[in-house]
Amino acid sequence: MNPADLSGPILIVEDDRNTAALVATYLQREGFITLQEHDGAQALATARREKPGFVILDLMLPGLDGWEICRELRKVSEVPILMLTAREEEIDRVLGLSLGADDYVVKPFSPRELVERVKAILRRVRPAASLESGTLQHDGLTLDPDKHRVTVDGQTVALTAVEYKLLHALMRAPGRVLSREELLNRLYDHGESVIDRVVDVHIGKLRQKLGDDPNAPLYIHTVRGFGYRFADDGGD
């Protein structure tokens, strides 16, 4: 990922000024432009004003916490968000991902590792360049890789990069069951430690946006204990 390709600066939201400065230094060494905020309410205002190309977001903040900031940003933007958390409980990670975060890092962390996570996320949010072209369609749902656009009954659906890649992978193999592990490998660089439930969280969000009822799915079917499959051409 070339930092020059980023649409805006990286906003670092961290109440510990030393940590924020350290992260900024490592990112700047890689050519990224950074902004820092240490208060939740001010960070949200800065994000709305500056329109960053990436957000590194601590969960425990004065003013507004990271959960609320993520929730508010996702109402208006698909900017990549990397959450920082001092707690290792799985439920916190799942909640963060369910709110729309792209990944998380548990404190304490290596600044070099964090920079590599940022780069990995940025590679993932530009999937169109590496995906095969060719419009995919099924029952009112259309995915156009050339335009990086998804529509349902002619209405554009705003997907995150992860949701887009999941849908593309499933639509390219209608009727074929894709395991959670296989889907994870398509979403994340090999070697990253990611919990299986991340796929379930993103599939749930994707279904909501497509208007796909999991109890009577038109598009994405759950294969319990294994993974997911996209409906075949017969409409199953």
Work out the pLDDT band at 2, boundaries 50, 70, 90. Answer: low
Separation between Cα atoms, residue 16 and residue 58, nearest integer Å: 9
Burial of 95 (0-12, 13-18, 19+ CB in 10 A): middle
The helix (run of H) or strand (run of E) holding residue 198 is helix 197-210
CATH architecture of 3-125: 3-Layer(aba) Sandwich (3.40)
Share of the chain above pLDDT 70, in %: 84
- Give me the pLDDT at residue 106, please: 87
Q: In DSSP terms, which residues pair with 179 in a beta bridge? A: 227
Separation between Cα atoms, residue 64 and residue 198, nearest integer Å: 25
- Give me the pLDDT at residue 132, please: 46
Give pLDDT tens digits for 175-220.
888 888 888 777 765 444 456 678 888 999 999 999 999 999 999 9
- Give me the pLDDT at residue 57, please: 95
- Give me the pLDDT at residue 229, please: 93
Q: Does the fold of domain 128-230 match that of domain 3-125? A: no
Fold designation for 128-230: Arc Repressor Mutant, subunit A (1.10.10)
All structural domains of the chain with their residue ranges: 3-125, 128-230
- 210: helix, coil or strand? helix
Give pLDDT tens digits for 57-93.
998 898 889 989 998 998 888 889 999 987 766 556 6
- Give me the pLDDT at residue 225, please: 84
- Span 97-102, average pLDDT: 78
